[in-house]
Structure 1
Amino acid sequence: MTKKINIIGSGFSSLAAACYLAKAGNEVTVYEKNETIGGRARQLKKDGFTFDIGPTWYWMPDVFERFFSDFGKKPSDYYELTKLSPAYQVYFGINDFVTIADNLSEICNTFETIEKGSGKKLDKFIKEAQNNYDIAIKDLVYRPGVSPMELVTLETAKKINQFFGNISKDIRRKFKNKKLVQILEFPVLFLGAKPSDTPSFYSFMNFADFGLGTWHPKNGMYSVILAMEKLALELGVSIQTNSSVEKIVVENGTAKAIIINGEKFEADIILSGADYHHSETLLDEKYRAYSEKYWDKKTFAPSSLLFYVGFDKKIQNVEHHSLFFDVDFDAHASDIYDFPKWPDEPLFYASFPSKTDDNVAPNGKEAGIFLIPLAPGLKDTEFLRDRYFDKIISRFEKLTQQEIKNSIIFRESFCVNDFIKDYNSYKGNAYGLANTLLQTAFLRPKLKSKKVKNLYFTGQLTVPGPGVPPSLISGKLVSELIQKNS
């Protein structure tokens, strides 16, 4: 039976859910508070430069392929993909960097030159990680987090110890060189927690990195959003921007409508892909499933200080993606998770998409994105943003041995206050709820409201977790749950 479904937000999970629900024959409308769609994956255009405001890493291409194949489509029907070669570069000091190739064989050779015997160890480690990937990404993450029994399979039973060990210890048992350890710990940072708090099973992220590679969609990650928008419109979805939802109307324990600019929009089903905590504040308190105390105790993935910089020249000695691990990794992690504060010496990441894509910067110029991971909830001021930009740019110049400050045409920034203002993000977090052992699968906030009938949630604070591929999967999971319960 056809249902009228109102969806709050237009990020990856909301658009994915909209496509699935429309394909099933429902009347679907997406309401987005901002001027443009995409949620955290919006785009900034300025003076001929184009920047992805949010995600810049295209990993797990198979998840995108699986999504589009559910509609008889392929990613190539909508956007062009390039596999990055090299995938990325990691700086540890002046003239001290490791380049990660686009294939495992070369990466093993690189490891071997740094630590004797590590090439074979890496090959074995990635084969084990691939097995975990096959279990997790091809099966487990497509389960709705309703019951702990979802995690109990013949395959997971064989790996029970990996759910209680942590990936940091596993890596350090196999590899002694500090640089190799940090490179192998890097992918799990996408899960939003310290490697020492991330279960061993999540080594599947290392296969996503070294096994499947790093890709770039032409014109940036926003191309994927535009592809999903086109698919949604082809399926009959209506998308309304500049539509900030003020309230979710509940009558007799059932979600009935949303209020936008004082106007009521009724529906049979309400689905929120907005920040989960914020979504519940749209309900009267008695209908909220999770208290403020609950959210305050949760481990959130980091926030970020981001800079979008236009340069009047090409930047040398960097790749499309470059990581700067020339300072204490553990100290910065502690400043995020243990004793939250602005880091004394931050690690940072820089992306220069114009190294790969001529469309994102004028000829002879360079588009640069810089990111510093931060604890959510920190005080955010222009003074601090300026101070940290100067800090990382000075280090960047020293490490890459070039002068770039005088080549800056413009600089835009995005930080905690912007995540709150633009996305209603809890404490300004950037990536959602971390995937720690006690925040995995059925232990995450539920896709279906426990207190309100016909009210559902999707996105990185619920199942399966943070990141773009999990958000696509979250949209599919909630759509299946809605259809099952309708």
Structure 2
Amino acid sequence: MMRTIVIGGGIAGLATASLLAREGREVTLLESAATVGGRAGSWEQDGFRFDTGPSWYLMPEVFEHFYRLHGTTAAEQLDLVQLDPGYRVYFEGHHEPVDIAAGRAENLAVFEGIEPGAGEALDRYLVSAESTYHDAVDRFLYTSFASMRPFASRELLGKAGRLARLLLRPLDRFAASYVSDNRLRQILGYPAVFLGSSPTMTPAMYHLMSYLDLDEGVLYPRGGFTRVIASIADLARESGVRIVTDARVTAIRTTPGARASVAGVDYVHDGQTVSLNADEVVSAADLHHTETELVAPEHRSYPERWWRRRTSGPGAVLVMLGVRGELPELSHHTLFFTEDWDENFGRIFASEASIPEPASFYACKPSATDDDVAPDGDSNLFLLIPVPADPGIGRGGVDGSGDSQVELVADLAIRRLSEWAGIPDLAERVVVRRTVGPGDFAADLNSWKGGALGPAHTLGQSAMLRGSNASKRVTGLYYAGGSTIPGIGLPMCLISAEILLKRLRGDTSTSPLPEPARDGAPAR
């Protein structure tokens, strides 16, 4: 039986381990932390529970497809709730927020109410976004690019001109060609942040993201993303995966020779170094950490000189607040946008980066939907403030004990939220507080440059240009997760697990794997 080791127990590692175990491999997953989840972690204090990472349930069909590959469904695994409004946006200089509804027709009316003609423009924008989204799912997301032959189809070649234009035009200019009001441009441009980039750096191809939130709507799994991780970990164990926590991998061992093969890994567990042999190793840990710390220098596909030419996504300061009382001014998801985005994002991604002030940021209030995340009558609040990817900004802490720059960013965001949303006593009502900074992402997750997400989705870091999911120098060494193909986000991490399985099978197709038949129904 093929022996496989998976490094990292985030969603990509769990999903990869589960799929490979179902393929008949003997799989051991090694996670350095005490619990699985990675970025999608959880923290509790005094009756308040917080997801410490992802909070948007988008691309539901990707989750559904993954569950169906395991003979189950999202409905059987999760209690999904449709959010309406999907999210709320406060804009600097405007007193009234804008609510984005759960459906397309309502959002066309929202746009039209802000700018005459914008409703029809949004309709055209979403037609393009939907078409591009389905092209991406069918042709680009579920492939390892191990063969370019599938891209020579007549259908795809016929779309080459349009796709090229979308790749070469930045998202902000593309959005501006449809609407004039700065607020509407920002609503269409903000998905770039999900991709670890900015609207000026992200190709217009990614306007497909607007189809997800403005047309399909936003869902929430009760129990939060902790529940999503638990469901996938359960499937992995049921598939036969052996999960070992508190297991910090220190090296990927290889056979001697110019063209080395995987031999296994060394890891530390309970203070002892353990050597575990394997025929394959899949690292779902940060790719930079894997290549520059775990692989011997002569066997690195992506050495440090390669990373010097890459662009990291932003870092982040995370703020978890337990607040006494209700916060009706906030939706489940609320965004706060500054007027001057060029200055805001420019400071984050500049060669001499600095923390923007004022800064755009995001607030999540799961207690709007979930009864179990805060004491009765109180509110759970999670803030994410994008900052430069720089561990020197510092680490966070509990009750204001984090490094000074991290706590200052948190204080300013709380103050701005209080002013813009009209909650003057917000700071006085906070009874639980924890911060996380770029230094924590670097130390706890081995994240390159302390980034919160991974390499940015710029033109040179998308699709086949993002980097392979197989080592060029070590036979049997593979990669999965947000720092390799297809990219950032929980759905992308699930897809990364599937395209790795396809690579190992020698499957160069571009579409999702067929789903097994279930309850007498034909396979999908």
Q: TM-score, normalised by structure 2?
A: 0.90
Deviations 1:329-371 (A, max 9, x none): 2211001112411112111111100011001111011110011
Tell me what 1:354 maps to: 367
Tell me what 1:87 maps to: 86
Tell me what 1:293 maps to: 305
Q: Does 1:99 align with 2:99?
A: yes
**Deviation, structure 1 residue 150:** 5.3
**Deviation, structure 1 residue 7:** 0.3
Kept in 2, the 8 Å contact 1:145–1:464? The answer is no
1:235-384 to 2 correspondences below 5 Å = 235-252=239-256, 253-261=260-268, 262-280=273-291, 281-338=293-350, 339-381=352-394, 382-384=403-405
Moved over 4 A (4+): 147-153
Which residue identity lines up with residue 259 of structure 1 in the other structure? D
**Structure 1 pair 167–151 and aligned structure 2 pair: CA distance change class (3 A):** farther
Cα distance in 2 for partners of 1:37, 1:389 equals 27
Tell me what 1:431 maps to: 453
Q: Does 1:118 align with 2:140?
A: no
Tell me what 1:385 maps to: 406
Q: Does 1:400 align with 2:412?
A: no
**Deviation, structure 1 residue 219:** 0.9
Moved more, 149-158 or 134-143: 149-158
1:409-424 to 2 correspondences below 5 Å = 409-424=431-446
Tell me what 1:157 maps to: 160
For the residue of structure 1 that corresponds to 2:404, the secondary structure is helix
Structure 1 residue runs of 5 or longer lacking an equivalent are none
Residue of 461, 479, 486 corresponding to 2:501: 479
Deviations 1:217-261 (A, max 9, x none): 001011111110111111111111000001111112111111012
Q: Does 1:197 align with 2:201?
A: yes
Kept in 2, the 8 Å contact 1:44–1:50? The answer is yes
For the residue of structure 1 that corresponds to 2:61, the secondary structure is helix
**Structure 1 pair 341–152 and aligned structure 2 pair: CA distance change class (3 A):** farther
Which residue identity lines up with residue 424 of structure 1 in the other structure? N
Deviations 1:394-437 (A, max 9, x none): 11111121211111111111111110111111111111111111
Kept in 2, the 8 Å contact 1:143–1:150? The answer is no
Kept in 2, the 8 Å contact 1:255–1:455? The answer is yes
Moved more, 220-229 or 85-94: 85-94
Structure 2 residue runs of 5 or longer lacking an equivalent are 395-402, 508-524
**Deviation, structure 1 residue 38:** 0.7
**Structure 1 pair 172–376 and aligned structure 2 pair: CA distance change class (3 A):** same
**Deviation, structure 1 residue 483:** 3.4
Cα distance in 1 for partners of 2:214, 2:146 equals 32
**Deviation, structure 1 residue 95:** 2.5
Kept in 2, the 8 Å contact 1:147–1:442? The answer is no
Cα distance in 2 for partners of 1:437, 1:323 equals 26
Cα distance in 2 for partners of 1:463, 1:148 equals 15
Which residue identity lines up with residue 286 of structure 2 in the other structure? D
For the residue of structure 1 that corresponds to 2:200, the secondary structure is helix
Which residue identity lines up with residue 329 of structure 1 in the other structure? W
Cα distance in 2 for partners of 1:476, 1:372 equals 32
Cα distance in 2 for partners of 1:474, 1:374 equals 27
Cα distance in 2 for partners of 1:105, 1:222 equals 32
**Structure 1 pair 270–179 and aligned structure 2 pair: CA distance change class (3 A):** same
Cα distance in 2 for partners of 1:468, 1:150 equals 26
**Deviation, structure 1 residue 9:** 0.2
For the residue of structure 2 that corresponds to 1:113, the secondary structure is helix
**Deviation, structure 1 residue 96:** 2.4
Cα distance in 2 for partners of 1:182, 1:415 equals 26
Residue of 204, 209, 215 corresponding to 2:219: 215
CA RMSD of aligned residues (A): 1.4
Which residue identity lines up with residue 192 of structure 2 in the other structure? V
Tell me what 2:177 maps to: 173
**Deviation, structure 1 residue 301:** 1.1
**Deviation, structure 1 residue 97:** 1.2
Which residue identity lines up with residue 15 of structure 1 in the other structure? L
Kept in 2, the 8 Å contact 1:166–1:199? The answer is yes
Cα distance in 2 for partners of 1:417, 1:151 equals 41
Which residue identity lines up with residue 83 of structure 2 in the other structure? L
Which residue identity lines up with residue 346 of structure 1 in the other structure? A
**Structure 1 pair 149–294 and aligned structure 2 pair: CA distance change class (3 A):** farther
**Structure 1 pair 109–200 and aligned structure 2 pair: CA distance change class (3 A):** same
Deviations 1:152-180 (A, max 9, x none): 54234252322222221111111100000
Residue of 464, 470, 475 corresponding to 2:492: 470
**Structure 1 pair 476–359 and aligned structure 2 pair: CA distance change class (3 A):** same
Cα distance in 2 for partners of 1:36, 1:157 equals 45
Kept in 2, the 8 Å contact 1:167–1:198? The answer is yes
For the residue of structure 2 that corresponds to 1:333, the secondary structure is helix
Cα distance in 2 for partners of 1:378, 1:343 equals 16
**Structure 1 pair 336–146 and aligned structure 2 pair: CA distance change class (3 A):** farther
**Deviation, structure 1 residue 76:** 1.5
Kept in 2, the 8 Å contact 1:145–1:444? The answer is no
**Deviation, structure 1 residue 482:** 2.4
**Deviation, structure 1 residue 135:** 0.7
Which residue identity lines up with residue 120 of structure 1 in the other structure? E
Cα distance in 1 for partners of 2:61, 2:192 equals 18
Cα distance in 1 for partners of 2:375, 2:504 equals 46
Kept in 1, the 8 Å contact 2:46–2:432? The answer is no
Cα distance in 2 for partners of 1:392, 1:139 equals 40
Which residue identity lines up with residue 114 of structure 1 in the other structure? I
**Deviation, structure 1 residue 290:** 1.3
